[in-house]
Amino acid sequence: MSASRDIDSLIDMMARLPGLGPRSARRAVLHMIRKKELLLTPLADLMHHVAASVRECANCGNIGSADLCDICQSEKRATGEICVVEDVADLWAMERSAVFKGRYHVLGGTLSALDAVGPEELRIPRLVERVTEEGITEVILALNATVDGQTTAHYIADQLEGQVRLTSLAQGVPIGGELDYLDDGTITAALRARKEL
Amino acid sequence: MSASRDIDSLIDMMARLPGLGPRSARRAVLHMIRKKELLLTPLADLMHHVAASVRECANCGNIGSADLCDICQSEKRATGEICVVEDVADLWAMERSAVFKGRYHVLGGTLSALDAVGPEELRIPRLVERVTEEGITEVILALNATVDGQTTAHYIADQLEGQVRLTSLAQGVPIGGELDYLDDGTITAALRARKEL
Ligand SMILES: [Zn+2]
Ligand SMILES: [Zn+2]
């Protein structure tokens, strides 16, 4: 019974991934089994590699394989601009648009009284330090257009008032919309038309 | 760059799974990374176990961990009935309905002149042998209600004519419908109302 039990466990675990349910998990597992050499084994290898090497950047909260992520390590990205995003998915969305050349600060969420998420949990004190340490001239607040996202943006703006140019993504981000759902062109337009806070 | 490159490769490979695209693959990979100990590492382990142990049943074509699958090994399933299905997803769908107590024969597709799929590729000669060897009294043709599925059902019925009771799933299977898309209740009803060919 062991292969069947492993297959069942694999389906259950795949079904917990966002966007997959029991049915698509079953299809995915059967597909992987049919393509064992091309898909199942390489996927397992890659997952082990990623699990062993992935870590959070000590500077910005991005994902990388060293104490500092690729972007924080790259001197080319020291443009004096920091783009503040809620999570790594948003950072990836910004990178796909390939318009922003500076560095990021990944909050890992938004301020929330309900969930007791305060500024420390969101690395906001570290952001304030970075502005001085890295000689930052502009902070772009690329937070989602949700109530919590905008509350967080205003809190950060208060902390950095007078120290740096503060901008936010403008035109193109729909009300209630989330960055990661937007196409690259919309993000590009929103970044180009960014406005002073 | 190595973690990022591994993460990119992982996203690309996940995006090739049925039901996932680039966006859901990115979400799934980020989710797995956030739950590294609970999800990423256990998934990689399970995939390796499955890749190492999974094999095709020599008797029926089902997936298992030995030369004979669990169902072919179980004496309880020797009811004298064989249910013929196109693929393992359909076998799983039948098993979820938990109404059928016999064994299966997994064709691995349907006869197709276009794709040059003949009876040998579909284990049809082996099915004919099994009817004698296992003392089968009824063969239930649970093939999809597609043109190729029905062509295949008629071909099998011709081969087994006069040797065995031949039935097919009836009421409840919509025209052009595929078994794996049906709910368990529909499959149960279709099996209970099966009709003579
Ligand atoms: Zn970093
Ligand atoms: Zn079997």
For position B170, what pLDDT does the model report? 63
- Is A157 an interface residue toward B (CB < 8 Å)? no
Q: Which CATH superfamily is domain B2-53 in?
A: RecR Domain 1 (1.10.8.420)
Please state the ipTM of this predicted complex: 0.80
- Is A162 an interface residue toward B (CB < 8 Å)? no
- Residues near A122 by Cβ (< 8 Å), separated by ≥ 6? A107, A108, A109, A110, A111, A152
- In terms of Cα–Cα distance, which of A121, A191, A119, A196 is closest to A159? A119
For position B186, what pLDDT does the model report? 67
B24 contacts in A (CB within 8 Å)? 18-20
Domain borders along chain B are 2-53, 74-168
Ligand nearest to the CA of B134: 2
Contact B77, B71 (CB under 8 A): yes
Q: How far apart are CA A96 and CA A90, in angstroms?
A: 10
Q: How far apart are CA B124 and CA B118, in angstroms?
A: 9
For position B1, what pLDDT does the model report? 38
Write out pLDDT tens, residues A111-133. Answer: 887 778 888 888 999 999 999 99
For position A132, what pLDDT does the model report? 94
DSSP string, A45-68: HHHHHHHHH-EE-TTT--EESSSS
In CATH, which of 1.10.3720.10, 3.40.50.300, 3.40.50.1100, 3.40.1360.10 is domain A74-168?
3.40.1360.10
- Is A175 an interface residue toward B (CB < 8 Å)? no
Ligand nearest to the CA of A63: 1
For position B173, what pLDDT does the model report? 58
Distance from CA of B163 to the nearest CA of A (A): 33
Q: For residue B13, is it left (φ>0), alpha (ψ between -120 and 50) or beta? A: alpha
- What pairing do the DSSP bridges indicate for beta strands A195-196 and A165-168? antiparallel
Contact B32, B40 (CB under 8 A): yes
For position A101, what pLDDT does the model report? 92
Q: Give the number of other Cβ atoms within 10 Å of residue B149's Cβ.
A: 21
SS3 call for B69 = coil
Contact B111, B117 (CB under 8 A): yes
Ligand nearest to the CA of B91: 2
Average pLDDT taken over every residue of chain B? 87
- Stretches in chain B below the pLDDT threshold 70: 1-3, 170-179, 181, 183, 185-186, 189, 193-197
Q: Where do runs of H (alpha helix) occur along B134-183?
A: 147-160
Chain B, residues 64-123, CB within 8 A of chain A, namely: 64-66, 70, 87-89, 92
- The partner residues of A112 in beta bridges, in order of sequence, read A117
B12 contacts in A (CB within 8 Å)? none
Q: Chains A and B: how many Cβ contacts under 8 Å?
A: 158
Tens-digit pLDDT string for chain A (197 aa): 345 789 999 999 999 999 899 989 999 999 999 999 999 999 999 999 999 999 999 999 999 988 999 999 999 999 999 999 999 998 998 888 888 999 999 999 888 877 788 888 889 999 999 999 999 999 999 888 778 888 999 999 999 999 999 988 765 556 566 667 676 766 776 677 676 66
